[in-house]
Amino acid sequence: MAKLHSITLVVKPEQKLNIKWPRQHIRQVITLLTSFYLVCSSVSISAQHASLIFEAELAHELQECSGLIALENGKYFLAHNDSGCEPILYLISQDAKIIHQIRVEGSSHVDWEDMSFDGMKHLYIADCGNNDQSRRGGVINRIDISKGFFVDTVFAEQIKFQFGDYPTTKMKRNKKHFDIEAICTSGDSILMFTKNRDRWFCNKTFLYLLIPNTKQQKLLPIQSLHYGNAFLYENQISGAWCGNSTDQVYLTSASQLILLQNQRSGSDTLSYKLNRKYTYTDLSQKEAVCILEKNKVAVCQESNAILKSAAMLRIYKLSEK
């Protein structure tokens, strides 16, 4: 017999209606809602799509994959898991087979999220996951990777920060934006984008800027950006890529790839606007994104029981119209 879960509906301020549904029915409702808003957003916003052209299932060790970097334009990838797993970097092939493992010593490892490479010698891993909004800051683990990706151990330097706008009293619903799951690196700056939980149908992200050569910082958002009105869980930001330039930034959610354009290109300040959206041809828990050549995008997705999707490495082709 299916286990029942209660849903309470407020009919009037003085009345409540208690409905008991089996767990699988609740999952079906969530899936239908996300699918419905995926279709609506693809029709109303843009005809541009990201079409799946290749996929390979990730190994059991990467079921919670949350960070991805493309090496040699996708010949290899570097990946890691999020919370509850070992602090290990996995070098994987194009077909998602594990080639080598690198243990990270000295790192902060509460809830690893996105990862970025400066293209020279430093790798940055964001330990900024904050689903319950209880963390008042986070840590960026900076790793010297100049000896290559076939070493057995690397050592992390912790760059700590605090949110300067974290509330000192009880957090309000419309202030739940302190979960950073998307970062990218450009020069001496790390761009950090939040995954918001403050509105059901208003998609917004806050941008924080971190200077990685400073050990302790208190940060305020430099910009808030509205990027859509889709269902919350379908369109929360979970990964970023900027190719070591602040001119353009790509953000990924479960349903869309979002391109931002810096309106102040060439200056020392950042101000992004929404440039373009690509709707993925599938709905899955996408956690990280890398842009490859010839309008191709690599994405890692975490396994998700509700969406009935496995942990995968996927390649998408972006439409040009």
- pLDDT tens for each residue of 109-159: 999 999 999 988 999 999 999 888 889 899 999 999 999 999 999 999 999
pLDDT tens digit sequence for 12-69: 444 444 445 455 554 555 555 555 544 554 444 445 999 999 999 999 999 999 999 9
pLDDT confidence of residue 87: 96
Bridge partners for 159 per DSSP = 140
pLDDT confidence of residue 27: 52
215-226 core/surface letters (b: 16 or more CB in 10 A; e: else): eebebebebebe
CATH no., domain 21-318 = 2.120.10
User: Would you list the domain boundaries of the chain?
Assistant: 21-318
Mean pLDDT of the chain: 85
**Mean pLDDT along residues 4-10:** 39
Q: How far is it, in rounded angstroms, from Cα 236 to Cα 198?
A: 11
Locate tokens 């998602």: which residue? 96
Quickly list H helices, the chain. Answer: 23-44
